[in-house]
Amino acid sequence: MMRQLTLPDGLLVFSLNADETRFVHREVFGDRCYLQHGIELNDGDCVFDVGANIGLSSVFFHRERKGVHIYAIEPSPAAFECLKANIELHGVDARVFECGLSSESGTAEFTFYPANTVCSGFRVNLETDRGTTKTYMVNRGLSPQAADMFVGLLFKKTTFPCRLRTLSEIVDEERVTRIDLLKIDAERSEREILAGIRAEHWGLIRQVAIEVQDEVGGLDEVLSLLVEHGFQVATKQDPLLKGTAVFIVFATRQP
């Protein structure tokens, strides 16, 4: 259920889960997790927020610089309604899309965790996701026993079909001429999303910040693809996620 929440810095947002929203707020606003390793925004930039969830990253980009235009993409209906509410609340200049992105158009089953929406996705792995969440909680100071109890509550799921599009379809439809930052946080769908960028559109992209699950060579594959398309790359792992497969990749082009 969507409710208003005031965050520690005074920011008012619509939220589905208060603790989860505080966690994402710390990452996005406190740690500035998407603006590291040379990635920066300028006034008037164009941002693709893929896996926008409830819109905290879109609100952050909007507040970071003047005139930032955002394309916010989120497949979960519950998160999408919250995203729209936060876009409206903060006057964000954004186009919103209720869909997932992949290598081709179609539909796919989406797994939604109402109590843990940021782990929802098209390619969930319950055992791994539970382990990642437990490791995060233990790294924060919880005992393994307490972490097990909380994890048991977070992964009750529902599934439903969702529309899939490609990033290049949206670029064509919206007549996008540049993407100054492509942010992707899509729970193991990152490789499929990148595969949905046609060759002629890679040159539009100036910077990338992408969460990558380093499973079955995923990190190396993403890094190689970005280097192939002319980016310089760096990786970082949140200290609270040490011992998991979750990394953020930053990619920039030489001026």
Mean pLDDT of the chain: 96
Q: Are 241 and 132 in contact (CB under 8 A)?
A: yes
Q: Which residue has the tokens 């609270």?
A: 240
Q: pTM for this one?
A: 0.96
With 80 as the cut, is the pLDDT of residue 255 above it?
Answer: no
Q: Are 179 and 188 in contact (CB under 8 A)?
A: no
- 82: tokens are 């919250």
Residue 152: per-residue pLDDT: 87
Residue 47, SS3 per DSSP? strand
- 185: tokens are 């946080």
Residue 75, SS3 per DSSP? coil
User: What would the mean pLDDT of 105-124 be, rounded to a whole number?
Assistant: 96
Q: How many residues does the chain have?
A: 255
Could you tell me which residue, 1 or 253, shows the higher pLDDT?
253
Residue 12: per-residue pLDDT: 98
- Quote the Cα angle for 245-58-117, to 5°: 50
Closest by CA position to 125, among listed 111, 146, 105: 111
Q: Would you place residue 25 in the very low, low, confident or very high pLDDT band (cuts 50, 70, 90)?
A: very high
For residues 120 and 71, give the distance between their C-alpha atoms in angstroms, rounded to a whole number.
20
Residues 6+ apart with CB under 8 A from 209: 33, 34, 35, 36, 39, 181, 182, 183, 184, 248, 249, 250, 251
Work out the percent of the chain whose per-residue pLDDT is above 90. Answer: 95
User: What would the mean pLDDT of 191-210 be, rounded to a whole number?
Assistant: 98
Give the pLDDT confidence of 157-181 residue by residue, as tens digits: 999 999 999 999 999 999 999 999 9
For residues 8 and 70, give the distance between their C-alpha atoms in angstroms, rounded to a whole number.
25
